[in-house]
Amino acid sequence: MKHSGARKRESTILELSPWQIAGFGLYVHWPFCQSKCPYCDFNSHVAGQQDEEIWEEALRRELRRYHALTEGRVLSSIFFGGGTPSLMSPSLVERVIFEATRLWRPSNDIEITLEANPSSAEAEKFRSLRLAGVNRVSLGVQALRDDDLRRLGRLHDVKTALRAIDAAARQFDRFSFDLIYARQDQSEDQWARELEEAIAIGSNHMSLYQLTVEEGTAFGDRYARGGLRGLPDEARSVALYAITQELTTGANLSAYEVSNHARSGHESRHNLIYWRGGDYVGVGPGAHGRITDAAGRRVATEAKRDPAAWLSAGLKGYAEAERTELSPEETAEELLLMGLRLAEGVSLDRLRKQTGFHVTENAIAYLQALNLIDLRDQTLRTTDEGRMLLNSVLSKLDLLPVSDKPATKTVAKTTGAGR
């Protein structure tokens, strides 16, 4: 379906900008790890000590460049992700926070999260990180069973993970930890016992991901050779997911997003910016960003992935590899793709106003009849079943321009795990 430029623009102009509706955040990617986990396809590289002054300079330059495009916004969150950002020195973290909050006015309740691996050396860093301005940590615990930690190629054991959780709880009012389930040879009973132990730790937030075997990883290669035995079939995956929902809901930690569980008020504000279609700046190798300008144009940015290439480009003042203006239709697809991951769903009124597209009544009726979505108060939500079958739901959600003749477009697919 073709649209004139003027109509396209008109339909994207909002009364409020996405950053005012859903927040404005900063993502900082630190791409280094002590070792490469066999399941991981994130932009992470094993490397020794870095020259942090040079990294700081490149990060500052990127921050200033993005600030010029987003002046006047209030910064509601900063997220240091990786890789392993707990390998950064607290003083580098502090200087990045200082520069970001000098450029953008921070909200009174700004959330500053850092992903940490639970090695004991890093746990000792928590106090310095708190003094540097970090107020939330997300710990990569991954499993509460030593055998499984070994199979996942992790450097820590359960004892170390529990010590790190304890240290995080002492230093931070808000912390979260990640577990990976649907592991090799993991039965429903075993996962239920492990999850009960995890819940008993008492954190207000947990991210619970089903193990995804990604192409191009060591697990992916092993799987292709028939070597990664004991992974759950479809039926066991569904059962493991159902156990996860049942036990977390019973403990007041129901899923506010496909893989993320929190007590009310303890949700990750940074990740909510992504899922609610807010704006965010991404700096560091491979970081993604979404920025909406005053005319409603939404731009997707992606930084150079290779750390050395990013660093040298960043020092010269421009480390982006790609910048794409999203069409209103692509913006609508993304709002659904991200928003339907959330239990709170997507406002159809906002979808229409921001993008000029709406979901066809036929598609809604079809998915409602299958009990996969629910429409109340102009808000489209996935049901528990629908969230489990998110890719299928999205593939059935046809979009139409608000005032146009029928012509359909199908929403792109996404992966199951939160990434």
Ligand X SMILES: C[S@@+](CC[C@H](N)C(=O)[O-])C[C@H]1O[C@@H](n2cnc3c(N)ncnc32)[C@H](O)[C@@H]1O
How many residues are present in the chain?
Answer: 419
List C-alpha distances in Å: 36 to 82, 229, 394.
12, 21, 33
Helix 307-316 / helix 52-69 crossing angle, nearest 10 deg: 60
Minimum distance from residue 175 beta carbon to ligand SF4 (Å): 17
Question: Contacting ligand SF4 (CB under 6 A), which of 11, 12, 17, 44?
Answer: 44
The residue with tokens 């429409």 is: 375
Residue 336, sorted as left (phi over 0), alpha (psi -120 to 50) or beta, turns out to be alpha
| 80 binding ligand X? (CB under 6 A) | no
Minimum distance from residue 214 beta carbon to ligand X (Å): 5
Question: Contacting ligand X (CB under 6 A), which of 180, 240, 253, 283?
Answer: 180
| 66 binding ligand X? (CB under 6 A) | no
| 140 binding ligand X? (CB under 6 A) | yes
Q: How far apart are CA 122 and CA 293, in angstroms?
A: 39
| 142 binding ligand X? (CB under 6 A) | yes
| 211 binding ligand X? (CB under 6 A) | yes
Query: Which of ligand SF4, ligand X, none lies near 214, with the C-beta cut-off 5 to 8 A by kind?
Result: ligand X
Q: Is 223 helix (H, G, I), strand (E, B) or coil?
A: helix
Minimum distance from residue 240 beta carbon to ligand X (Å): 13
Q: Are 5 and 58 in contact (CB under 8 A)?
A: no
| 86 binding ligand SF4? (CB under 6 A) | no
Q: How far apart are CA 104 and CA 109, in angstroms?
A: 14
Residue ranges in 4-43 that form contacts with ligand SF4 under rule CB under 6 A: 33, 36-37, 40, 42
Nearer to ligand SF4, 23 or 85 (CB): 85
236 residue type, one letter: R
Residue 364 CB coordination number (10 Å): 19
Query: Which of ligand X, ligand SF4, none lies near 212, with the C-beta cut-off 5 to 8 A by kind?
Result: ligand X
Nearer to ligand X, 112 or 373 (CB): 112
Nearer to ligand X, 40 or 299 (CB): 40
| 39 binding ligand X? (CB under 6 A) | yes
Residue 388 CB coordination number (10 Å): 18
| 326 binding ligand SF4? (CB under 6 A) | no
Q: How far apart are CA 212 and CA 219, in angstroms?
A: 9
51 residue type, one letter: D
| 140 binding ligand SF4? (CB under 6 A) | yes
Residue ranges in 115-134 that form contacts with ligand SF4 under rule CB under 6 A: 117
x/- letters, 189..228, toward ligand SF4 (CB under 6 A): ----------------------------------------
Q: How far apart are CA 168 and CA 239, in angstroms?
A: 32
The residue with tokens 């200033």 is: 64
Residue ranges in 291-310 that form contacts with ligand X under rule CB under 6 A: none
Q: How far apart are CA 404 and CA 398, in angstroms?
A: 14
Radius of gyration of the chain (CA): 22
| 346 binding ligand SF4? (CB under 6 A) | no
Query: Residue 119 has what DSSP assignment?
Result: -
Minimum distance from residue 25 beta carbon to ligand SF4 (Å): 20
Query: Which of ligand X, ligand SF4, none lies near 52, with the C-beta cut-off 5 to 8 A by kind?
Result: none
E strand spans, 357-419: 357-359, 373-376, 379-382, 398-401, 409-410
| 117 binding ligand X? (CB under 6 A) | yes
| 223 binding ligand X? (CB under 6 A) | no
Q: Tell me the sheet residues that pair with 81.
A: 29
| 84 binding ligand SF4? (CB under 6 A) | yes
Nearest to 159 by CA among 144, 171, 175, 137: 144
Minimum distance from residue 96 beta carbon to ligand X (Å): 18
Minimum distance from residue 25 beta carbon to ligand X (Å): 17
Minimum distance from residue 314 beta carbon to ligand SF4 (Å): 20
Minimum distance from residue 147 beta carbon to ligand SF4 (Å): 18
Where along the sequence are the contacts to ligand SF4 (CB under 6 A)?
33, 36-37, 40, 42, 44, 82-84, 117, 140
